[in-house]
Amino acid sequence: MGRRIAPALGLFLLSPLIGEFLLGNLPVTMLVALITLAPLYGGGALLVRELARRRGAGWPGIVLLAVAYGLVEEGLVTRSLFNPGYAGMDLTSYAWIPGVEASAWWASFVLGGVHAVGSICVPIAIMEALVPARATEPWLRLPGLVTAGLLFVFGAVATALFDPAAYQPSIAQAAGVVVLAGLLVLLALRRRGRVSRAPGRAPGPWPVLGFSLAAGAVFWLAAMALDTLGAWPVVAANLTVYAAVCALVTRWSRRPGWGPVQTFALAAGGVLTYAWHGFPQPPAIPVEPAVDLAGNTVFALAAVALLAVAAARLRSPRLARRERASAAG
C-alpha cells in the first residue's frame, strides 16, 4: 500500500514546497506552515490530478481544474482577488476594474502563473515524471480521494480563519467565483473527442525546456518590473505568455514525437524559474538575509536534484517495469 500511494504523498508535499518555498515567498524558517499549506496546496493538487486522470481529461483538464483551484483559493480562501489592500499593496493602482472591483494585474498574475502553473501543474508533472509507469493512472482509490478532499477543506478553512478580520468579498463577488470555478470544472471534465494529429515533428526536450525558461523569465521579470512598466503592460505581457504557451504546446503535443519527456521539460523549466526567482524575492515573513540565502540555496539544490532523479527515471525502462510491478502487487 505504501508504494501504491507514495506518489500521492509526494505530490501532497511537493505542491506547497514548490509553490511557496522554492518560489521564495516563505523562508525556510516557516516550514512549520506546511501543517496548513500541505492540505490546502497538496490536497488541491491531488484533487485536480485524480479527477482529471479518472475522467481521462488529460492535461487540458488538469490546466482548467488548476485555474479553478486558483479562483477558489484567491477568491474564497485568502480573498485576495477582491481585497484592494491585500498584503499591504494598493491594488486599486494596478489595473483596477471598477464594477468587478478587482485588479486585472493581480488576477492575471496569481490565477495563472502562480497557482495554475506553479502550485498545481508543475508539481503534478514532476511527480508523474518520478513514476512514469503510473503517470496517467489514478493514484488514489475512493477513500483516498475523499481524504484528499477533506484535507483540502481543512486547509482552506484553517487558512481562512487564520485572519478572521480578512477582507470579505460581496455576495455577488463570491457567487461569481463559485459560478466561474464551476464552469471551469465542467469544461475540464467534459468528454473530449479524438484529437487530430498536427503535421511536423514535435521538438525535443531541450528546445521545450528553453521555451519554458524563456516564458517563465518574461512572466516573472515583468512582475518584478511592475512599477516601472505599469500594470496594464504587465497584464498584456502575462496574457501574451499564456496565449503563446497554450498555442505552441497544444500544437506540439499533437505532433508525432511528443511524450512524457517533453511534458517533463516544460515543468522542469517552471521549477528552475522558481529556483532563480527565490533569491531576489523578499520573503513574506522577515528573516535574517543569511538565513534566507541559505534556505533558498538548499531549496534550489534540492529542486535540481529532484529534476535529475525524474529525468533518470523517465529514461530508465527497467525502473518503469519494476514500478509497475510494485504498484500491481
pLDDT for res 318: 61
Nearest 5°: CA angle at 221, between 217 and 225?
Answer: 170
Task: Look up the domain containing 128 and give its range.
Answer: 2-328
* Residue 329: pLDDT band with limits 50, 70, 90: very low
Provide the total of helices (H) and of strands (E) in the chain, helices listed first.
Answer: 14, 2
pTM passes above 0.85: yes
- Packing angle between helix 260-277 and helix 289-314, nearest 10 degrees? 170
pLDDT per position as a tens digit, 139-178 = 999 999 999 999 999 999 999 988 755 789 999 999 999 9
Q: Which of 224, 220, 214, 212 is nearest to 238 (CA)?
A: 220
Q: Which three cell numbers stand for residue 269?
A: 523549466
Distance CA 325, CA 193 (A): 32
C-alpha torsion angle, residues 65, 67, 73, 75 (rounded to 10): -120
Output b/e per residue, 27-50; b: 16+ Cβ within 10 A: bbebeebbebbbbbbbbbbbbbbb
- For 97, phi then psi, to 5°, come to -105, 105
Distance CA 243, CA 248 (A): 8
Q: What is the DSSP letter of 104?
A: H
pLDDT for res 167: 86
pLDDT per position as a tens digit, 41-97 = 999 999 999 999 999 999 999 999 999 999 999 999 999 999 999 989 999 999 999
pLDDT for res 189: 94
Question: What is the number of structural domains in the chain?
Answer: 1
Distance CA 102, CA 124 (A): 29
- Asked if residues 53 and 59 have their Cβ atoms less than 8 Å apart, the reply is no
In the block, cell 495563472 appears at 112
Q: Which three cell numbers stand for residue 258?
A: 511528443
> For the purposes of burial, counting CB atoms within 10 Å of the CB of 109, is it exposed (0-12), middle (13-18) or buried (19 or more)?
buried
pLDDT per position as a tens digit, 95-134 = 999 999 999 999 999 999 999 999 999 999 999 999 999 9
Least confident range from 53-57, 221-225, 304-308, 324-328: namely 324-328
- Asked if residues 84 and 58 have their Cβ atoms less than 8 Å apart, the reply is no
φ/ψ region of 56 (left if φ > 0, alpha if ψ in -120 to 50, else beta) reads left
